[in-house]
Structure formats: C-alpha cells, structure tokens
Homo-oligomer: A and B are copies of this chain.
Amino acid sequence: MLKSIAYTHHKVRYSFQDPFKQSLPRGSESEPGKLSFRQKNTWDIYAMEKGREQLNAEWEKFRHFFKREEIPTKTVLLKEGQISERMFYIEKGCIRLSFNKDGKDITFQFFFEGEGVSSAESFRNDEPSLFSIETIEPCILHILHKKDHETMIESSPLIKQELEKQTFQRLMYYQKLFLSRIKNSPEERYKELLEQSPHILQRVPQHYIASFLGITSVSLSRIRNRK
C-alpha cells in the first residue's frame, strides 16, 4: 500500500521552520471561530521579521533530531494510557486525537499538514496520556524523541523561550475551544466547519466528524438534511 504512494523518492518540498508554531490544531479552529487561518497571517508577519529568521535558523540547527517516517492509515501513534516519548510533525496526511468512554471512541481534534501533534502532559511529565493519537490517512511524519527535545531546549534558550510563548498560546486556544464547545450546538459547529474548514469535511470520514461534534452519525445525517 505504501508502495503505491510514491513519496519515498519524492524531494521534500517543505522548508524546515519552527515545527510547532502551528501546533494549534487547525481542525478545531472552527470551534474558536476566530482562529481560522489567522495563524497563517500571523506567520507571514513573523516571516518578515528578522527575529523570525533568526528563530528559523535556530530550529534548523536541530533538524537532524526529527526522524522522517511514512505511516499507514489507522496507525495508533500513541495509545491512551501510555506514556508519550515522541512528538509528531505532519508533512503529509491527517491525524486525529481520541479517547475511550465506556467502550465508545470519541474524536476531539484533527491535525493536518504543517502541524505538530503530541500529548503534552504525558510527554512532559511522564504521565499516562489522556488520549490516543491515530492516523486517518497515510502520513509522512517527522518524529522528535523526548530526549532530543530536552537536548534541544537545553541547547537553545531561544527555542526554549519560543516554546514557552507557544504554551501560552495553546492555553488561550484551549480556553476558546472549551468555551466554544459549551456555547455552540452540534449543528452550529457543523455549519462553522462547512464555512471555515471545508477541507476537514472533504477528507475526514463523516462518522469521525459526528464523533467530533459529539453526536451520532445518524444525528449528523439529520443535520446535513436540514440545511
């Protein structure tokens, strides 16, 4: 199967920049609503700044820590309850986060190309992960091991500072995610997906979308028939 995806000998086309700058998952940006593609714009502004270039140069120093791997569909990268030792950066493909409730699988976030994925608490505190990480499509990932991550932080105060800044941004993001989840009905949230993240609806199977919206796939069909 992987053989049919001729990426193995394909020249990598992305440039190596801060791999976790985009760590706020794009799939869920429809929920805070205000984050849709805003980071792309912010990214452009940063890209113009000298500091940005300096930071990218700093990331470039640790490029060798990221191991490139091709991963098939429905591969569990991290299982809920395990301790995470790796972070993932997506070059190609789609990933979902999920957890188990009474035998039922609940999806709550999607990640796409250019985004970083991890179970931060597990990774940083050696605690069992609260959720699983799984590929939805065939993926090309760049994988950072925990030890290399620590080495990187110790070696570069600049990167350490940047990651702290991102922690705050993620806090803000989760706050918005949380509020949006409370605030909007599944139907409202589906409509936001339609308007702001159509790529999710095109690439992710409906039953994952339903799970993500917190409803059954039957209810999702009903919602889709209402519009």
A168 to B177, CA, bound (A): 17
Specify the main secondary structure of chain A where it touches its partner.
Answer: helix
Residues of B within 8 A of A120 (CB): 171-172, 175
A166 to chain B, nearest CB (A): 10
Kindly list chain B residues whose C-beta atoms are within 8 Å of the C-beta of A181: 178, 181-182
Interface residues on A, range: 20 to 34
- Given contacts A164-B167, A167-B164, A167-B167, A121 and B179 within 8 Å (CB-CB): no
Q: How far is the CB of A2 from chain B (nearest CB, A)?
A: 32
- How far, in whole Å, are A130 and B175 apart by their CA atoms in the complex? 9
Any chain B CB within 8 A of the CB of A66?
Answer: no
A178 to B170, CA, bound (A): 13
A177 pairs with B179, CB closer than 8 A: no
Roughly how many angstroms separate A12 CA and B172 CA in the complex, as a whole number?
34
Q: How far is the CB of A58 from chain B (nearest CB, A)?
A: 19
A211 to chain B: closest residue by CB: B182
Give the CA-CA distance A183 to B121 in the complex, in Å. 18
- Can you identify 25 A-B contacts, CB atoms within 8 angstroms? A99-B179, A99-B183, A108-B178, A108-B179, A108-B182, A120-B171, A120-B175, A121-B175, A124-B168, A125-B172, A130-B175, A130-B179, A164-B167, A167-B167, A167-B168, A167-B171, A170-B171, A171-B171, A171-B174, A174-B174, A174-B175, A174-B178, A177-B178, A178-B181, A181-B181
